[in-house]
Structure 1
Amino acid sequence: MTFSIAARCAETGETGCAVTSSSICVAARCAFAGPNGAVLTQNVTNPALGPQGLALMAAGRSPQETLERLLAGEAAPEYRQLLLIDGQGRTAVYDGDNALGVVGRADGVDCVAAGNLLADAGVPQAMVRAFEQSEGPLAERLLVAMEAGLAAGGEAGPIYSAGLVVARPNESWPVTNLRVDWGEAPITELRALWTRYAPQLEDYVTRARKPDAAPSYGVPGE
């Protein structure tokens, strides 16, 4: 009931992920990114694996080592599907034996995609191909990949939620963290949200770093 991608920008060092699902509020439980990488935890989801994976990669472990640690400490690994990428572009992916429906995965340059309950096992490969051929900010490229996954068939049933998370190596918080928690066309809505947010992104980073230099948005009372 989910398809997703985790990726890195080789130019900026940003890492991030995007996900969509038939379930409500998918990104709140499944999508995690920090200064040292990104983690997606999906299928029958254990959200705790996201922060744990980020912490392990921050401590210097590779995605594969991190994956092995996560699975060793997980009581029900057969129900989990995990995707990881670090700041060097290294990836790891795992499909539990109880992953639902049609399961697919694909590795690419600076990216990894996977899904379950897919309309077609080739959906992740379409996402990887689109990401590799795309240009621009990492958030934009992740959205392009999600749109390609949907065009390739997406999930077997309708999707209702989606999310996009991007982190920078020099910031402890994700500079992009956008969600559509319920909607009839969540990827389209996520694209619209990114279009609104992108021109303001750097202003919010400035607010965090140098609040005295941050622009005003004309909000009453400012």
Structure 2
Amino acid sequence: MEEEVTSGSDNIVTEFNTYEEFLDSQITPLDLLYLEDEELARELVELGYRGSGEVLKREEFVARKEAAEASRQSKKSQQNTLASSGKDLKNPFLKALAQREEANRSGKMTSIIFIRDKNARGQEISGYIDYAHRLKTEDFDLYFSGRKRLLPRPSDLSFYNWETQTSTSNPTPNYQVIAENASGLLFKNKRDRKILNVDPKAASPGDNSTRTPLSCPQYTQVVIYDHITRRKT
């Protein structure tokens, strides 16, 4: 029963910004008609003589309001904690991902990771991964702690299985795939509409974009394309 009351009070303090708003919510037009005094109506609600809702003193409302805000800030802080934080990273690929994690989580940057390697069946696969999207949909603590290896999937931006010749491409919240193009595979950033060209022979990957090949013993090939996102004006 106590938990139910606490939960109800928490709903009250999140619904109303001030104690006065909470009191006003329990004052009926009929109360104002008879009392003809808004302050008196509020006092009667606070004393429990008016209103059909829960009686809540000002001090208790303020205390619960502060507790609710502290809880919200705590949850926000937990969400903002980087998966790479506190990890002793020796793998150059994981180090590169850690350097880009905060920027990709905050939206300052949207990195595309090209990986070519073998899957658990020994089949050679390759693909382009939207790093920012994967960060939002997966627990990267598994990758940064070395318990799981990052590999492309058929659900990523682009995927190819060299043995089965299975090929897929999918848009993400950050990028649109342009597959049928004379210049090869292109990705259009949905935020600033800039084109990212992943052709290694291209003079540049595009505006506000860089191409970084990595030497990683754990993978056949890794290239990271970083795009600094700028909203179109």
* TM-score normalised by length of structure 2: 0.27
RCO comparison, higher one (Cα < 8 Å, 6+): 1
Hey, which of these two has a bigger chunk of strand by percent? 1
Larger radius of gyration: 2
TM-score normalised by length of structure 1: 0.28
